[in-house]
Amino acid sequence: MAVKKSELYSSIWEACNTFRGGMDASQYKDYVLAILFIKYISDKYADDPYPAIVIPEGASFNDMVKLKNTTTIGDDINKKIIGKIQEANKSLATISFADFDDSTKLGTDKEKVTKLSNLIALFEKPELDFSKNKASDDDILGDAYEFLMRHFATESGKSKGQFYTPSEVSLILALIIGITPENSTSATTAYDPTGGSGSLILKIGDVSEKNISLYLQEMDVTTAGLAKMNMILHNNPQAKIVQGNTLSNPQFEEVKDVKLQTFDYAVANPPFSMKSWTSGVNTAADPYGRFADFGVPPEKNGDYAFLLHILKSLKSNGKGAIILPHGVLFRGNAEAKIRENIIKRGYIKGIIGLPANLFYGTGIPACIIVIDKEHAAHRKGIFMIDASKGFIKDGNKNRLRDQDIHRIVDTFNKQIETPKFSRMVTLDEVEKNEFNLNIPRYIDSQEAEDIQDIAAHLLGGIPEADVNALEAYWSVYPNMRKELFKPNGRAGYVDAVFPKDQIKQAIFGHREFTLYAKIMEDKFHQWSVRTEMYLKGLDIGIKPKKVIKLISEDILSHYSGVSLIDKYDVYQHLMDYWNATLQDDCYLIALEGWKAEYVFDTKKKEWNSDLVPKYLVIDRYFAAEKNKIQELEADKETTESFIQESIEEHSAEGGFFADFEKVNKASITARLKEIKADKTANEEKKVLDALLEGYEKQISLKKAIADAQTTLEKLVAQKYSGLNQDEIKVLVVNDKWLASIQASVKGEMDRISQRLTQRINELVDRYEKPMPALNKEVEEYEQKVAAHLSKMGFAWE
């Protein structure tokens, strides 16, 4: 049985946590990732006659397994495994692997042997057989590496998490710089001067869908090694990765110390506001001319140094994007002059403001500056997006959702101007603002204030302006407005027709609401019909990532222009289901096809199936049996409630069970024998008989439930063995996938309607009692209090 993608991730993460001990995440990641890498290349290239990575005899993961529990395990891993692999592969010679014999990190003698042996054992699990867990071009292991990098970055702390750019941000850069499968060839080049672990530049290759040439330079030697492994795990072993300081010692040159190599595309996420950037850099006469015509960045802030390096590293028609702190948009002095010079040359195509706390090295908000040299001479404006509000909390960090990414990319690439989110800012307007690019100067993203109407508080009525603000609803429910509100008698104000407790019913029961719900139901049905046909056509060898791209883009297009509902919200529901369930199912189908394997889950101690969960088979084929069991369980719960209530009622002092050490069937039976001949104990006998009957019924029901469950289990097992492919497809596509997605989309509609109900209730509650009515209530309460005090003999003034 194939392992699910999510289970693969959890297995690897389990290995990490087991191995970690007291080690810092920034250190123990190097050991885990090294073992993962060796395991991967051993599985992938062991039987390959022309391998991209040579595995010398005696240096495979299986050879590492043989070292378990040996006293020299650490030194042998260093020399016999890693050492031999590096000797046989020049491309790996520069990787600085972790020292597996480091006693300061792994402990001495027995502790080290145990730690390393346990770590190797965890990677021996059958589900981590990477030679089998491959689904066409989908990089399951590469994705697992990314999964680990994100977790390591999260745990590494503020000062040590900069090696990783969140994949969501990396994807945005890749999708907005202009690279596409259509304009990419093997000659296309992409460059990252501050490459980290390579996650950012890899996204460029993914979007191109071609084997383009990737170039990366990274200052930290260990992180450069991570990047090399990352490239191999993502099937990019040919990527050129070098180690060194990009600003003082750039490694990609056309003429040594004279001219930088130029590229078609460039991306970067440099360390923010680097204070030591001038170390080794000739700022007065940079041999590469990076500061000529622009100016030299401040000595203690290297943000613009990296931006200027990117500009110089792009071809005349090159395009790029760089992540920098917001300060680069508005800081003065030397940076203001550099910014002005860049803007005047038309190099900046756009700016995207991101949410705060996205990155692992800092919590400050950042922006993406998009560069386009090709159209610089004719540029008339800069397209700006304020995307600072779209994110979810993810632990102690913020994270962009799929819908946030898609909204940003769509808006930028199509240059869609949206109030409070995006607009094209002319260069003339920028110049009038003294070349200050601070996004709030050009986009007011603040939510409109909910203003209290003093006149309404004084004289009553709901301000018509507040009702008009709900126009999005009234365009769909034109008559509902007339039936929810009536004239107040004062111009500009209305009254609610229904009291607060009836408003929800009035909305949800309205004919226009019902009609719109039916329209939305039909809308989903239209999408599901064609999606059902496509999904049922999936088979072994499918590419899961292409599956979700096709159906998600289709649902996004299908809901475009629909009133009230936001197409990106619908899209997010699909993507959430993809990440939770559909993705794993597609990988199973890619590997094994439509198989309903009914196996015993040793963890949950039950029989089930990954692709076709047992509840689907029961709901479709054995609903009557399921209902019977539910009826028996409900009866059992009722009986048990009666037993408990009876015991509680008669256990107090003086009660029939007050002297019982324990109330159960045995003690009740014994008591009945004691009082059998006592004619004065009739009431007690009645209670005891009823309780005894309850216990017997409980036993009978438990047996009936167990028998029914056993019978149902046999029926289910028999059904699984006889399921044909068409039946499996109905269970999976119709009953599982589409039913779940439909429930989520319907829930979105319910939330929209709930917001309307909530807002109207809020307005009714706010203006329900004007000031005169409140004053009158106060007077009435005062009179009541005074009357009570007078009766008590107190004077009230």
Residue for token digits 């803007």? 343
pLDDT tens per residue across span 462-476: 999 999 999 999 999
pLDDT band (50, 70, 90) for residue 2: low
Rg of the chain over Cα atoms, rounded to whole angstroms, equals: 35
Q: Is the pLDDT of residue 146 over 90?
A: no
Share of the chain above pLDDT 90, in %: 64
pLDDT tens per residue across span 743-796: 999 999 889 989 999 999 999 999 888 777 777 777 777 778 878 878 887 776
d(CA 45, CA 92): 15
Task: Answer yes or no: are the C-beta atoms of 12 and 130 closer than 8 Å.
Answer: no
Residue 133: which residues within 8 A CB-CB, separation 6 or more? 2, 3, 8, 127, 140, 141, 591
Provide mean pLDDT across the span 583-599: 91
Provide mean pLDDT across the span 485-489: 91
Closest by Cα among 338, 332, 328, 440 to 384? 440
Between vectors from CA 405 to CA 402 and to CA 410, what angle results, nearest 5°? Answer: 120
Task: Answer yes or no: are the C-beta atoms of 334 and 138 closer than 8 Å.
Answer: no
d(CA 486, CA 438): 46
pLDDT band (50, 70, 90) for residue 645: very high
- 287 by Cβ neighbours in 10 Å (0-12 / 13-18 / 19+) ranks as middle
Between 156 and 658, whose confidence is greater?
658
pLDDT tens per residue across span 216-252: 999 988 889 888 988 888 888 889 999 999 999 999 9
pLDDT at position 302: 95
Between 413 and 126, whose confidence is greater?
413
Element (H, E) at 171: helix 167-176
pLDDT at position 137: 47
d(CA 218, CA 50): 29
Q: Is the pLDDT of residue 136 over 50?
A: no
pLDDT band (50, 70, 90) for residue 401: very high
Listed in order, strand segments (DSSP E) in 354-416 are 366-372, 381-386, 392-394, 397-399
DSSP 300: T
Provide mean pLDDT across the span 597-602: 87
Q: Is the pLDDT of residue 687 over 80?
A: yes
Task: Answer yes or no: are the C-beta atoms of 70 and 112 closer than 8 Å.
Answer: no
Long-range contacts of 53-59 (CB under 8 A, 24+ apart): 53/85, 53/89, 53/91, 53/92, 53/232, 53/237, 54/85, 54/88, 54/89, 55/85, 55/88, 56/84, 56/85, 56/87, 56/88, 58/84, 59/84, 59/85, 59/88
pLDDT at position 652: 86
Length of the chain as a residue count: 797
pLDDT at position 51: 85
| Amino acid (one-letter) located at 434 | E
- 160 by Cβ neighbours in 10 Å (0-12 / 13-18 / 19+) ranks as middle
pLDDT tens per residue across span 512-535: 999 999 999 999 999 999 999 999
- 616 by Cβ neighbours in 10 Å (0-12 / 13-18 / 19+) ranks as buried
Task: Answer yes or no: are the C-beta atoms of 200 and 170 closer than 8 Å.
Answer: yes
Sort strands 213-218 and 189-192 into parallel, antiparallel or unpaired.
parallel
Provide mean pLDDT across the span 92-105: 88
**Would you call 401 helix, strand, or coil by DSSP?**
coil
Provide mean pLDDT across the span 424-430: 97
Bridge partners (DSSP) of residue 494 are 462, 487
Give the C-alpha distances (Å, rounded to integers) separating 566 from 73, 413, 512, 572: 58, 19, 19, 10
Q: What is the residue-averaged pLDDT of the chain?
A: 89
d(CA 162, CA 361): 5
| Amino acid (one-letter) located at 717 | A
Residue for token digits 């680990």? 148
d(CA 106, CA 28): 9
Give the C-alpha distances (Å, rounded to integers) separating 503 from 461, 468, 552, 754, 775: 16, 18, 36, 11, 27
Provide mean pLDDT across the span 640-659: 90
pLDDT at position 135: 40
Provide mean pLDDT across the span 592-611: 89
d(CA 717, CA 621): 12
20-29, 147-156, 504-513: which has the minimum mean pLDDT? 20-29
**Would you call 352 helix, strand, or coil by DSSP?**
strand
Q: How many contiguous H segments (helices) and E segments (strands) does the chain have?
A: 31, 18
pLDDT at position 741: 97
d(CA 707, CA 703): 6
Residue 189 has phi, psi (to 5 degrees) of -120, 145
- 503 by Cβ neighbours in 10 Å (0-12 / 13-18 / 19+) ranks as buried
DSSP 447: P
39-53, 125-139, 264-278, 417-431: which has the minimum mean pLDDT? 125-139
Closest by Cα among 20, 83, 88, 15 to 53? 88
pLDDT at position 677: 82
Provide mean pLDDT across the span 690-699: 94
Bridge partners (DSSP) of residue 486 are 495
Q: Is the pLDDT of residue 158 over 60?
A: no
DSSP 578: I
Structure tokens at 454: 């003093």
pLDDT at position 192: 97
Neighbours of 397 (CB within 10 A): 19
Closest by Cα among 523, 585, 593, 594 to 548? 585
415: left (phi over 0), alpha (psi -120 to 50) or beta: left
Sort strands 493-496 and 485-487 into parallel, antiparallel or unpaired.
antiparallel
Q: Is the pLDDT of residue 147 over 80?
A: no
d(CA 558, CA 498): 37
Q: At what angle do helices 614-621 and 682-722 cross, to 10 degrees?
A: 100
pLDDT at position 21: 63
Between 415 and 396, whose confidence is greater?
415
Structure tokens at 2: 């194939």
pLDDT at position 139: 56
pLDDT tens per residue across span 38-62: 988 888 887 778 888 899 999 999 9
Strands, sheet with 462-463, edge to edge from the N-terminal-most edge strand: 462-463, 493-496, 485-487
d(CA 638, CA 643): 9
Q: Is the pLDDT of residue 661 over 50?
A: yes
What are the respective helix, strand and coil percentages of the chain, to the nearest 5?
A: 55, 10, 35
**Would you call 217 helix, strand, or coil by DSSP?**
strand
Structure tokens at 143: 């994705």
Provide mean pLDDT across the span 6-28: 68
pLDDT at position 565: 93
